[in-house]
Structure 1
């Protein structure tokens, strides 16, 4: 696994970048600290494509009694990065109602619960995976739940981005979305809020 990580930030269907802390993760963390009512009003949170787990850790620190699930494509990321980072930041006293899941979203559907809040950063960079993300939202977001996706508008070389995902969500009969934060410098970045219609 280390050899793959050293050679590339992304190897499709092998390593999906989970050992990196991407800039959109920081964008969403900053957004959640300013709008902390988003997390504090939630009793169940999914950190989708968690990598370091910073979004789920933030949620657990704000709502220690809440249920937080961490999911990443690679089990090596979960065991060697997410779990260790979680215990360093939350300690054993907050380990109840916490679960760590690894695998492709299409194979994890039955293992997910329903969530009031789904947080995700840098996961919609590939068009072929966006349908899977949409399915997770349709199947696992509670009726009054919300999801936040932090993303670059375009991921050059891999063909996805926020605009493509926004169009996909808007074509859905059951979900709606709106951009709630934007950065117009460098690689344009946004945070998209998704909820039920």
Structure 2
């Protein structure tokens, strides 16, 4: 992740992972780590994320931190997953990795970390094959707070400018920690 906004100190953009605020997930492929310590349901109205699978295929996901997470399954045509915002015990961030197979070979990632009252988040396509159903059917992340940025990738857009395509891209967003998100797949 490349966008850095250190509250009260600087509001600049950094292009290297070494300049990230403590808590960001570092892009190291798709190796798994464990589920956040206290995963629970929430609505997208605040304090968490809801993922809605409107695609034609089943989605498998892993909510990962510094240890491996268990696989969750979202049925095609409206299956959902909800998670309250989590913190990582080692100070890193959380990555929700989504795939259309039980392997983590081609994943779309929703990544986030807390810093005070701010939630830093992004979508990553770095480990996503251009032939993925996520690419062919599109996806969008919409916050409950209209003052926050959303991210949307149209069906067929394999170079979506609103997701990380390369480790040094600058597509990290920030929002109030009180905001909730809905990530719609398809």
TM-score exceeds 0.5: no
Query: Normalising by structure 1, what TM-score?
Result: 0.32
Structure 2-normalised TM-score? 0.33
Task: Identify which of structures 1 and 2 has the higher relative contact order when contacts are C-alpha pairs closer than 8 Å and 6+ apart.
Answer: 2
User: Which structure features the higher share of strand residues?
Assistant: 2
